[in-house]
Amino acid sequence: MNVAVKTEGESRQLKLRPLEAEAFAPFGQIVQPGEHPVPANGGTARRHDIGDVMVRLGEDSQLRLSIFDCEPQALPLRIDVLERHRLSAQTIAPMQAAEYLTIVCLSGPDGAPDLATAQAFECAPYQGVNYSPGVWHHGVVATERRSLFFLQSWQDGSPTDCEEINIPALLVTR
Amino acid sequence: MNVAVKTEGESRQLKLRPLEAEAFAPFGQIVQPGEHPVPANGGTARRHDIGDVMVRLGEDSQLRLSIFDCEPQALPLRIDVLERHRLSAQTIAPMQAAEYLTIVCLSGPDGAPDLATAQAFECAPYQGVNYSPGVWHHGVVATERRSLFFLQSWQDGSPTDCEEINIPALLVTR
């Protein structure tokens, strides 16, 4: 992944790459069929286990289920805000969706996004993602057409769980 | 909903009905776009909140993420087993899916399925479901073609959370 050095009045460029397990591993898990399914539903289905998300304990802990109905965005796409949930994983599963983007970034030592780690992944309609707690990410971006996504976020009940931050502009390109 | 009286050597019939909010309410929530979305993702998306799933607290609580890859089943469909998770909600979101079925049933006073409450719903590809804790259900059934479903179940770490039970055969028909 190359991030061009930012200069005054110019956006860093972030090139799209396909969503692949090894590349996405620092940020979470891909929600897609794997290599080792097990029989399920009386032999009529194959179950692919993606992983277990550890639960944070809190009196007000809740799992929030939503649908995001997203208008398609044109490339190149300029982004200048990221969010993270320090205490909670967040899962996205495309429902009625075409290709879409997920843009992620790890934290630096000070907790702010370390833009040198930023990645923009192009996801197939059969691929979802599960962000690990604390991973900075941009809102899901449809590119081909209006798309529906199932999205759930873990709400631990504390106001500090959801953070948004402005960043120097990134220009996501093919 | 009519369930024919069972007679020796004959299956009860359960007629399919469309998945609609009022009819499904005793069993959980429908995961679909609603009437009152809120703007999200900088105005490029509409967020539809489905609901919050209360978290059961336990040291080993986990959210299990899976994909079910289901072969299509022909109608009429004979079913003779149901399962429930007394302590946990379970969510299904169709990913690459055509129409599919969800078959649900409430518990009677003794905890066993009360087959008089059984319902078979035909779901559109943009509709998911969230079963409330304790609702008896059959494994998700694809009918039109091989389909992928995102499925998550809440694991509270106790062996009693997942129960399966054999029932007198139900014949699901149009």
Report helix, strand or coil for A120.
strand
A126 to chain B, any CB pair closer than 8 A? The answer is: yes
Which contiguous run of DSSP H or E holds residue B124? Answer: none
Q: Would you state the pLDDT for residue A98?
A: 94
Greater confidence (A151 vs B53) lies with A151
Of A61, A139, A141, the CB nearest to B55: A61
Question: How remote is the C-alpha of B32 from its chain's centroid?
Answer: 14
* pLDDT at residue B150, as a whole number: 94
Interval A32-61: pLDDT, tens:
888 899 998 888 899 898 877 655 556 566
What is the helix (H) or strand (E) element at residue A21, kind and residue range? helix A21-24
Q: Residue B7's pLDDT is what?
A: 41
The mean per-residue pLDDT over the stretch A62-89 comes to 89
% pLDDT > 70, chain A:
85
Contact B106, B138 (CB under 8 A): no
- Can you give the pLDDT at residue A90? 87
Average pLDDT over residues A91-107: 94
User: CA-nearest residue of chain B to A148?
Assistant: B126
pLDDT of residue B49: 85
- Give the residue from A134, A62, A124 showing the smallest Cα distance to A92: A124
CA distance A8 to chain B (A): 25
The torsion of the CA quartet B117, B121, B126, B129, rounded to 10 degrees, works out to 30
CB A70 within 8 A of CB A149: yes
Among B57, B127, B152, most A C-beta atoms within 10 A, so best to mutate, is B152
SS (H, E, C) B61-83: CEEEEEEEEECCCCCCEEEEEEE
User: What count of other Cβ atoms lies within 10 Å of the Cβ of residue B168?
Assistant: 11
**Model pLDDT, residue A7:** 41
Q: Which of B63, B82, B132, B158 to mutate to test the interface with A (most CBs of A within 10 A)?
A: B63
Render each residue's pLDDT in chain B as its tens digit; 174 residues: 334 334 445 678 999 999 999 999 999 889 888 889 999 888 889 989 887 765 555 556 677 888 999 999 999 999 999 999 887 788 999 999 999 999 999 999 999 999 999 999 999 999 999 998 889 999 999 999 999 999 987 766 566 677 899 999 999 999
Q: What is the predicted pLDDT for the residue at A153? A: 79
Q: Do B95 and A126 touch (CB under 8 A)?
A: yes
CB distance A99 to A125 below 8 Å:
yes
pLDDT for residue A78 is more than 60: yes
- Residue B7, chain A, CB below 8 Å: the answer is no
Instruction: Report the residue of B52, B127, B130 to disrupt the A interface, i.e. the one with the largest count of A CBs within 10 Å.
Output: B52
Using an 8 Å Cβ cutoff, are A82 and A167 in contact?
Answer: yes
Specify the pTM: 0.86
CA angle B164, B168, B172 (to 5 degrees): 95
**Angstrom distance (rounded) from CA A136 to CA B86:** 35
Residue in A33, A50, A140 closest to B65 by CB: A50
Q: Which CATH number fits domain B2-33+51-173: 1.20.950.20, 2.40.110.10, 2.10.10.90, 2.60.120.480?
A: 2.60.120.480
Q: What is the pLDDT of residue A86?
A: 81
Q: What is the pLDDT of residue B109?
A: 94
The verdict on A47 touching B (C-beta cutoff 8 Å) is: yes
Contacts 24+ apart (CB under 8 A), B74-78: B74/B143, B75/B16, B75/B143, B75/B172, B75/B173, B75/B174, B76/B13, B76/B171, B76/B172, B76/B173, B77/B101, B77/B141, B77/B171, B77/B172, B78/B11, B78/B169, B78/B170, B78/B171, B78/B172
pLDDT at B152: 85
* Confidence at residue B79, expressed as pLDDT on a 0 to 100 scale: 93
Predicted pLDDT of residue A60: 61
Higher-confidence residue: B53 or A73? Answer: A73
Tell me what pLDDT residue B169 has: 93
Kindly provide the ipTM of the predicted complex, given to two decimals.
0.84
d(CA B113, CA A98): 40
CA angle A41–A43–A48, rounded 5-degree value: 70
Asked if B69 is an interface residue toward chain A (Cβ–Cβ < 8 A), one would say: yes
Count CB pairs under 8 A between chains A and B.
166
**Burial level of A131, CB count in 10 A (0-12/13-18/19+)?**
buried
pLDDT, residue B65, reads 86
Query: Binning pLDDT at 50, 70 and 90, where does residue A89 land?
Result: confident
Chain B contact for A21 (CB, 8 A cutoff): no
% helix / strand / coil in chain A, to the nearest 5? 5, 50, 40
Mean pLDDT of A139-143: 95
Decide if pLDDT at A159 tops 60.
yes
Please report the pLDDT score of residue A156 as a whole number.
63
- Mean pLDDT, rounded, of chain A: 86
Q: Sketch the domain layout of chain B as residue ranges.
A: 2-33+51-173
Distance CA(B103)–CA(A138), nearest Å, equals: 37
